[in-house]
Amino acid sequence: METKIYFDNAATTPVRQEVLQEMLPYFQDFYGNASSVYTIARKSKTALELARKQVADALGALPEEIYFTAGGSESDNMALKGVADALQKKGNHIITSKIEHHAILHTCEYLAEKGFEITYLDVDQDGKISLDDLKKSIRPTTILISIMFANNEIGTIQPIAEIGKIAKENGIYFHTDAVQAVGHVPINVKDMNIDLLSLSGHKLCGPKGIGAIYIRKGVQITPLIHGGAQEKHRRAGTENIPAIVGLGKAAELAVAELPQTAEKLTKLRDKLIHGIQEKIPYAKLNGHPTDRLPGNCNIGFEFIEGESLLLLLDSAGVAASSGSACTSGSLDPSHVLMAIGLPHEKAHGSLRLTLGHYNTEEEVDYVLNILPEIVERLRNMSPLYEEFLKKQKS
């Protein structure tokens, strides 16, 4: 069946019409290389700098602190490897959390192989790190703290300003992977003492394959990609102008509309969460009840397999997810759900529905209508449920 309802906006989002319109002229009309001197290239250069300003404004940063990359993963890699390389004489200790995206976790594993020491902070049952733990784990050799702004699976938002303050007091760089947060919750890098921040275009109705990294003025960092002088020598490669224009426009729109969007999505999200919990027994919300992304609903259904749930939703025309999307599409028990203390089988039975710009209340109603039946069907076939019912009787 064709997908009728798209509830996987944390995986990616459609490009908004306004964004696409801004991008189109830069494919065929203004195709010049932004580094060239002639008129048509100047159009590209102007567009590049406008987009840089749009992204900077979305973060409360200066335009010269924004560097375009090929996406969130590249930005995360650049932050970690770049700072590790630049500061290796100062120290070799990095603090992060157990619920980071793989772009952070796998990069940390790589750095660990190169001799860096990594502390992975635990999170509580709602998915928040403890500021006390953070303070205690700081060493004289700590060169970087990298904690995600908001989690991609359970939506929990970290106390970013407090983390920034602690980092600043200790003279340690603070990076945040804000791929899920930019355009969804208010961010100000200056107020929050953020030194480096990663963001991605396709999570806020911009195009895929484009992202940016904010690097506070004065931060020492080694480039990841060497080559031409683009992005002030920090990121070589001819700028992807259409995508950059799209990212700029998407960021501008998202931030301008943020209060209304957040209100709308929070309302839909809460209707979804409460509706599911009213209609389906043994359904538990994963993540923080209020400090969570406006569009994120993550529910664990006891006794059932998340994979079968997703397949049945797919055949009912609903696109959903049970965690982060790996390229194989196969699902492992999520490291995030394990970190908030869910046992293996419950980590398997979770459903993530993430709402975005184009979703409506009717769609929420439709899902609330079909989901109880599907869960019921799977539970009726589940040996775990059968066992549970038997135990209840005796």
Q: Among all residues, which ones are annotated catalytic?
A: 326
- Binding to other proteins by residue 256, rule CB under 8 A? no
Task: In angstroms, give the least distance from the CB of 335 to other proteins.
Answer: 14
- Binding to other proteins by residue 381, rule CB under 8 A? yes
Task: In angstroms, give the least distance from the CB of 287 to other proteins.
Answer: 22
Assign 3-class secondary structure to the chain.
CCCCEECECCCCCCCCHHHHHHHCHHHHCCCCCCCCCCHHHHHHHHHHHHHHHHHHHHHCCCHHHEEEECCHHHHHHHHHHHHHHHCCCCCCEEEEECCCCHHHHHHHHHHHHCCCEEEEECECCCCCECHHHHHHHCCCCEEEEECCCECCCCCEECCHHHHHHHHHHCCCEEEEECCCCCCCCCCCCCCCCCCEEEEEHHHCCCCCCCEEEEECCCCCCCCCCCCCCHHHHCCCCCCCHHHHHHHHHHHHHHHHCHHHHHHHHHHHHHHHHHHHHHHCCCEEECCCCCCECCCEEEEEECCCCHHHHHHHHHHCCEECECCCCCCCCCCCCCHHHHHCCCCHHHHHCEEEEECCCCCCHHHHHHHHHHHHHHHHHHHHCCHHHHHHHHHHHC
Among 64, 122, 332, 365, binds other proteins (CB under 8 A): 332
- Binding to other proteins by residue 378, rule CB under 8 A? yes
- Compare residues 240 and 334 and give the one whose CB is closer to other proteins: 334
- Binding to other proteins by residue 112, rule CB under 8 A? no
Among 28, 328, 392, 394, binds other proteins (CB under 8 A): 328
- Compare residues 280 and 285 and give the one whose CB is closer to other proteins: 280
- Binding to other proteins by residue 377, rule CB under 8 A? yes
Binding mask 171-210 for other proteins (x = CB under 8 A): ----------------------------------------
- Binding to other proteins by residue 344, rule CB under 8 A? yes
- Compare residues 188 and 308 and give the one whose CB is closer to other proteins: 308
- Binding to other proteins by residue 115, rule CB under 8 A? no
Binding mask 276-315 for other proteins (x = CB under 8 A): -----------------------------x-xx--xx-xx
- Compare residues 90 and 377 and give the one whose CB is closer to other proteins: 377
Interacting residues toward other proteins by CB under 8 A: 305, 307-308, 311-312, 314-315, 326-332, 344, 377-378, 381
